[in-house]
Structures are given as C-alpha cells and as structure tokens.
Structure 1
Amino acid sequence: MPPDTATPRFPRSSPYWPVVSHPLLRRVLPGLAVSALGDGMALVAVTWLALQLAPPGQRGTWTALAVAAYTLPSAAGTLVFGRFLAGRSGAQLAGWDAVLRAAALAAIPVAHLAGALSIGLYVALLAASSLLHSWGSAGRFTMIAELLPERHHLPANAVLAILGQTATIIGPPLAGVLIGAAGPVWVIALDAVTFAVLALTYRLALPGGGRADPTENAPSRTAGFGIIRHHRALRGLLALTFAFFLLFGPFYAAMPVLVTEDLHGSATTLGLYYTAFGAGSLLGGLATGYLHRWRLWPTTIGIVVGFGVAMLPLGLAAPVGLSLPAFALAGLVWAPYRSTSMALFQRSTTTAALPQALAAYGAVIVLAVPLGTMLGGPLTTGVGPRHTLLLCAVATIVLGAVAAGLAVVPGRRPGQRGRIFGIRVTSFHGRFRATGREQLDRGRTRAR
C-alpha cells in the first residue's frame, strides 16, 4: 500500500491527535491542565477555609455562601460586562477571566498575612474572582471554534472536559495533603498561581488580537440572550440542559443522607460513590472524542435518558454492589453531555456571536444545580433520600423521552420532513439538523 494511503497508527489515528498536535492549542493545553488542577484543589480548600473563618454557630451558612460565591456571580458578570466583552476573541475572554481569578484569589493570602481576612471579606473576594467565569468558559469554547474546523470541535471539547475530570479526581486528595501541611489559605494561594500561569499562557501562546468581528454599534448587555431567544434550536438546548442539571441538583442533598441513614455507611462509603462517579466520568470523557461521527442531537438526548436509567438503582434500594457500579455508569454517560452541547452551540452560531451566546447560556445553567440542591433539601426531608433520588431519576428519563418525542412528528408519512424547536427532522429516519439564520450564513452546517 502506498505510504500516502496507509491507515495512520495510534496516536495519529485518534480523534484527539488534531487537537493535541495543533501548533497553537498544544501551547495552551499545559496551562489549562495546571489551572484545572488548581480548581480541583479549590473544591476542598474553599469550603475548609470557610469553616475556619466562620463563627462556630454559623459555619453551615457561611460555607454554603462561600461555595455559591465561587460560581454564581458569573451570572451577574454576563450582564454587567456584556457590552464591553461581546465580540472579543476567545483567547482574550479566557485570558481576562484567568487574570481576574488570579488577582482576586491572591488577595486572600495577602489579607491573611495582613491579619485582615474575615469571613465576609473572604466571600467577597471569592465572588469577585468568579465575575468573568461565564465569559472565560465561553472564551475557551470560542477559541476552539476559531482555531479548529468543525469536525474537530467535539474531540477538542472533550479534551477540556478530560482535563477537568482528571483534576477533580487528583485535586481533592492533593488538597487534603497540602491543607494538613500548610493550611487551606495556601492551597488557595496555589490556585491563584495556577490561574496566573494560565493567563500568561494565553498571552504568550496565542497571537494577540482585538475583536473577532468588529461592529459599528456596540451590542447590548443582553445580546447573548437575544441570540438564544431568536434561535429555536438553542432555546430547546437551553431548556433541556437547565432541566437536566436541575434534576441532578437534589443528589448533593440526598446522597449523604442516603449513605448515613439508609445504607448505614460512613464518609468512606460516600467517598467511594464520588470516586466511582469520577472514574466513570473520566472514561466517558476519553470516549467522547470517538463520538464525532454521531449525530449530536440524538446523542445529547440519549445521554439524558441513559443517565436517568443509570441512576435508578440508587432509588430502588439496590445493594451497594449494584448501585456503586451503576453510579459509575451514570458518570460515564454524564461525561459527554457538556462536550456535545457545546458542539451544538459551535455549529449553530457564527464565531462572532458564539461568546455572547455561550456566556448567556452559562449564566442560566450555573443556577440550575444550586437551585436543584436547594429544592433537594426539603424534598429529602419530606419523602426521604431514596424516594428523592428515584423521583429525580424517573423525571430525568421522562425529560429525555419528551425531548426525543419532540423529534417525531405524528401523522407524517415516512420521509416527510418537519420542524420542531428549530430542528429539521425526517420521520422514522432520525435525521436531525439544527437550523437557524446563523447556519444559513455558515453554509447550513450539519449538527451531527
């Protein structure tokens, strides 16, 4: 066989090879990996420092506020900075988010050394650090759309997810060791250093640039929401994702109670479930890149249904020997969702509009899990943890079934086409295509 037609061998045959070998992306990935590890350690350090700073009788309240402050203000940042940041390049958005994170988090150990770190100041600095988080996330996925052709978007999204999933497994135990040796404030200082490294990586690894698509009139602060509102496929995706994450939220309230009261387990047992989910997520993330030939809408909806099915054993009083691997399977099924949903956005909007749309999407989605967790508290108290988990699993399956049902037009002959939520479908053939004005500008790219 001639050399130019020979089948490439691994790793060149991997769908990830065009991503990790890209001349610009390969310079950024190490910084993203370091920053992800820092965030993995922050999962433990943020709550632990809040426990140390809070008054003894108010630790639960302040710990919850600290966790919320590290993520939720990004929703406000989407609106506050929308006019200024809309239209900027992906690398600029991600870089500015990293700079703000580094500066605000670095102020925490500085205040500690000055003897001025109170619980109120701590929560305020965490909130400041997260103001550009939605824009930073939008910037990373926009950068992928700017640098790579469409066929490589899903594997590239999966690479970002794999970095985060790996850091979630490694970061917390590493943070535990470092907290025991030096204290949580210095783990947060280390997290600030990782964001500084990431900001420097963006600055040096990618060429500088201004706006991705300059316009005469500055867009409004809510331009991203307008893009989604006028694109039926993106509205449907936003609704599906919000409901999916909302139904996952009660898990954080119900699972600890289930382990302690129903299973009579310990913190070690709870840790085993978290580890199983994390391991499954990592495997699912590694497999995501190989889904690039699958149609994205059916895959995304199938993930929702499959996750609900995998969660059923927890609500059906299954023994640990069955519920533990089922929970690992749930993590495996869950993992590709963010990558496929981001790929749908990347294929449904122009590169210029993508940061605004993704920032608006992130501002809404960031509220879903905390709201679900808040609802899960009284639900767990009222019906018990097992019934709460069963209710959420069944509701998730129903959600996916409803979304799948919207892709079938009753009463149409086989092969006759219709539209639902902006998705062009062909009855009995499962053909999905996200449609919209932006796609027409981009040559009617197909959402696979």
Structure 2
Amino acid sequence: MPASLAPFRFPAFRAIWIANLASNMGSMIQSVGAAWLMTELTTSHLFIALVQASATLPILLLGVVAGAIADNYDRRAVMLAAQGFMLAASALLTVATWSGVLTPALLLAFTLAVGCGTALNSPAWQASVRLQVGHADLPQAIALNTIAFNLARSVGPALGGLLISLTSPALAFAFNAVSYVALIVVLLRWHPDVTPPRRTPMLGAIATGIGFCMASRPVRRILARGFAFGLGAAGFQALLPSLVRDRLHGSEITYGLCLGAFGLGSIFCALWIGAARRRWGSDRVLGIAATTFAAMMVPVALTQNLLVVLAAAFVAGGAWVSTFTTLNVAMQLRSPEEILGRCLSIYQAVTFGALALGAYVLGLVADLTSLSAAILASGTWLAGAALILRIVAPMPQRDEGRVLP
C-alpha cells in the first residue's frame, strides 16, 4: 500500500473516513442550497456573503471553549453530541424551508446553528485522529481527511445544484440531515482505548491552551499565517454566488460547477502536497499557494467567461488545500497531547475567524463598490501578506517546536 494511503490499514480510521465523507457531502449540498437560496431571498451582496460568515463565525466565538471541552471530556461523546445537534438544526431548517416561512435572517440563524455544531465538533474530531492511527501515519491521515472533505466539495456542489434545480433547497437540507446518521452510527460503534481525561476548571483549561499558544513562537507564526490567508481567501467562496448570478448570469447548477472545480483542484493538490512539503519546505509551499490564489482572483474578478472562472477555481482550490493542510500538520506536530484539543481549537478560531471576518468585510466592500473591486482587494491582500509574512512570520523549521517525532 502506498505511504499516502497507509492510514487505511486501521479499521477505525477507514470506517470513520467513509462516514465522514458522506457527512461532508451532505454539508456541501446544504451549503450550496443555503447560499443560492439567499440569492433568491435578497439582492444584498453582504447578506449573501454572510451565509459563509455565519457558518464559520461560531468557530471563532466558541472554538476555544470547544477545545477545552474536547480535552476535558470523552472526545467520542463530544463528537456524538455535536453531530446530533447539527442533525436537529438541519432538520428544522428543512421544515422551515418546506413550509415557506424562511427569511434571510432566519436562514442565517440556522446556518449559524449548524456552525455552532461544527465549532463543538472540530477540536474533538481533529484531536481524535491520533486515536485512529499511529503517530508515524498522522500527516498522511490528516491529508486523507482533507481529501475526503475536498472530494465532497467536488461532487457535493454539483449534486446540490442539480437537486435545487430539479426540486427545491428543502430537499438539499433534508439530504444533509440524513447524512449525519451514518457518522453517528460509526461513532457509536467505535470504542477507542483511551485514558479518561483529567478534568480541570474550564476557565483554567482555556487559559492553559491560550498561554501555550502565545508562549510558543513556532505556534504564533503558524497562527499568523492562517489568519492572513483566511482573511483574503474568504472572498472567493463568500462572493461566488453573487458572481455567478450577476456577472456570469448563471444558475444554481453553474454555482455548483464552480465549487466542484474548486474541490477537484483541492483533491489534485492534496495527493502530492506532502511530497512538496518534504522537498521545498512549509514556508515555500505557503508562499507559492498564497500568491497563486491571489493571481487567480484577477480572472475571477474581470471575466464573464464561465470556462475561465472554472479554470481559476480549480487552481485556487489547489492553493487552498495546500495552505490549510500544511498549517494543520504543522499545528498538530507542535501541540502536546494533553492540550491538543485546545491548541487545535485556537488554530481553528484564528483561521475560521479570519474567514468569517473576510467574508463580512469583502461583502461590505462589494456592496459599497463592486464585486470586481472586492475580489481584486482579496487578491491584493493575499499577495502582499505572502511577501511580508515570509520575513516577519516564517514557518517553523522541521524540528522547531515539535512534540511528535
């Protein structure tokens, strides 16, 4: 078996990976449904961008608390609670859409609720990867989980666009609610052999995690790179529904195809990004990825040709996964096991908080100026930040700050 597929030797990882793929597929279908439905409920670019922001904002607001929960309680139980909550929220969204009572504000409230479930789930989920595979296979396991997410991102949007065009957004939301069931069943059957966590007061636990991240120079530089990239890269996905509607004059299927191209590019790069990091180093990979993403924003902002946007989305997807996979691996390798959940939650709070902030700011810029100006502004930020951060916040060297071999 190739080294990149070695984690599939572990039955727990294999089963959870497949179930997670189904759940991610449902999430992407719901994401497409919510974003496109908002274009039908309002003409405001800001409200449309806030669909993306409302899904990621809870990770900023609740992520650190969720990390402390992941370290203080059974991570499997935390994931089960989060999945159950998201199932309920998606089911209620389905009912509200089906009954015709959904408003822009109510749609944002439901996406915010699902985002809260994601915020609770993510630290426990990422910290549990070490329970599924050995330390030697951890980077490959992280890459394979990224591939699962981006495989869903490739197929899910196109399927979501097709479902919406043939039926209604309500069916897309119902599909997502059902998709949580498979993962819940797999988690119920998974019983890892773990030492019960030593519980500490929540505020003290949070302070410990923040203190470690602030005291560690390598971790601080990782967080800075994640924030800078997230702030600029948020514009593409947040404003894509508006771009498809207003510049490409496309339908929900066109929107799904653009997201699908983004996901295909992510899968393509996820397969070889590990080898690229070993050959060129994390710092160079991040610099190339950021400048490549920035360059792709120029044709996206200026063209009205669908094929050009699809090609740019494919390349941008590769840059996206190259960045976030590299940052995730770097963070995991420098986080002690006893506070792993808190460290990962702080990383996610910073990066996803930047995505939410970027979606809001760039949506506001689009309303005040134009879509093209907002997308070009995101590219300018990414290019400038890539040049500056390689000097002031270089990625850690291979052995700098590592806690895993």
Q: TM-score, normalised by structure 1?
A: 0.74
CA distance in 2, matches of 1:320, 1:131: 34
CA distance in 2, matches of 1:300, 1:313: 21
Which of 107, 126, 138 is matched with 1:153 structurally? 138
Correspondence list, 1:414-429, <5 A: 423=396
Which of 159, 163, 184 is matched with 2:169 structurally? 184
AA partner of residue 248 (structure 1): A
Distance 1:196 1:208, change over 3 A: farther
Distance 1:63 1:141, change over 3 A: same
Matched, 1:87 2:53: no
Matched, 1:344 2:330: yes
Once the two structures are TM-superposed, the CA of residue 176 in structure 1 deviates from its matched residue by 3.5
Matched, 1:16 2:40: no
AA partner of residue 398 (structure 1): G
Aligned to 2:118: 133
Aligned to 1:396: 382
Moved more, 319-328 or 396-405: 319-328
> Does the CA contact (< 8 Å) of 2:332 and 2:344 recur in 1?
no
Structural RMSD (CA): 3.8
Q: TM-score, normalised by structure 2?
A: 0.81
Aligned to 1:214: 198
Aligned to 1:101: 86
CA distance in 2, matches of 1:306, 1:50: 30
> Does the CA contact (< 8 Å) of 2:28 and 2:153 recur in 1?
yes
> Does the CA contact (< 8 Å) of 1:89 and 1:143 recur in 2?
no
Once the two structures are TM-superposed, the CA of residue 40 in structure 1 deviates from its matched residue by 1.4
Correspondence list, 1:177-326, <5 A: 177-180=162-165, 182-207=167-192, 209=194, 211=196, 213-215=197-199, 219-252=204-237, 265-267=248-250, 273-291=258-276, 293-294=278-279, 295-312=281-298, 314=300, 325-326=311-312
Once the two structures are TM-superposed, the CA of residue 37 in structure 1 deviates from its matched residue by 0.9
- What is the count of residue pairs matched by the alignment? 400
CA distance in 1, matches of 2:16, 2:347: 24
CA distance in 2, matches of 1:165, 1:81: 24
Aligned to 1:362: 348
Moved more, 397-406 or 337-346: 397-406
AA partner of residue 308 (structure 1): A
Distance 1:403 1:89, change over 3 A: farther
AA partner of residue 214 (structure 1): R
* Higher RCO, Cα 8 Å, sep 6+: 2
Q: Tell me, what secondary structure is at the counterpart of 2:3? A: coil
Deviation string 1:386-443 (CA, Å, 9 cap, x unpaired) is: 5554443343223222222247xxxxxxxxxxxx78x4xxxxxxx55432xxx4xx47
CA distance in 2, matches of 1:280, 1:58: 30
AA partner of residue 400 (structure 1): A
Q: Percent of counterpart pairs with the same letter?
A: 22
Which of 339, 354, 361 is matched with 1:353 structurally? 339
Aligned to 2:14: 26
Aligned to 2:25: 37
> Does the CA contact (< 8 Å) of 1:284 and 1:334 recur in 2?
no
Matched, 1:174 2:162: no
> Does the CA contact (< 8 Å) of 2:261 and 2:313 recur in 1?
yes
Q: Tell me, what secondary structure is at the counterpart of 1:214? A: coil
Aligned to 1:73: 58
AA partner of residue 88 (structure 2): A
Name the structure with the higher helix share.
2
Matched, 1:164 2:149: yes
Higher CA-based Rg: 1
AA partner of residue 283 (structure 1): F
Deviation string 1:152-187 (CA, Å, 9 cap, x unpaired) is: 222211211211212122222322343455533333
Distance 1:92 1:223, change over 3 A: farther
Once the two structures are TM-superposed, the CA of residue 368 in structure 1 deviates from its matched residue by 1.7
Once the two structures are TM-superposed, the CA of residue 128 in structure 1 deviates from its matched residue by 3.1
Once the two structures are TM-superposed, the CA of residue 36 in structure 1 deviates from its matched residue by 0.9
Aligned to 1:8: none
Q: Tell me, what secondary structure is at the counterpart of 2:60? A: helix
Moved more, 367-376 or 76-85: 76-85
AA partner of residue 219 (structure 2): L
> Does the CA contact (< 8 Å) of 1:283 and 1:332 recur in 2?
yes
> Does the CA contact (< 8 Å) of 1:90 and 1:140 recur in 2?
yes
Moved more, 146-155 or 15-24: 146-155
> Does the CA contact (< 8 Å) of 2:261 and 2:311 recur in 1?
yes
> Does the CA contact (< 8 Å) of 1:312 and 1:393 recur in 2?
yes
Which of 413, 428, 434 is matched with 2:400 structurally? 434
CA distance in 1, matches of 2:305, 2:165: 35
CA distance in 2, matches of 1:96, 1:201: 14
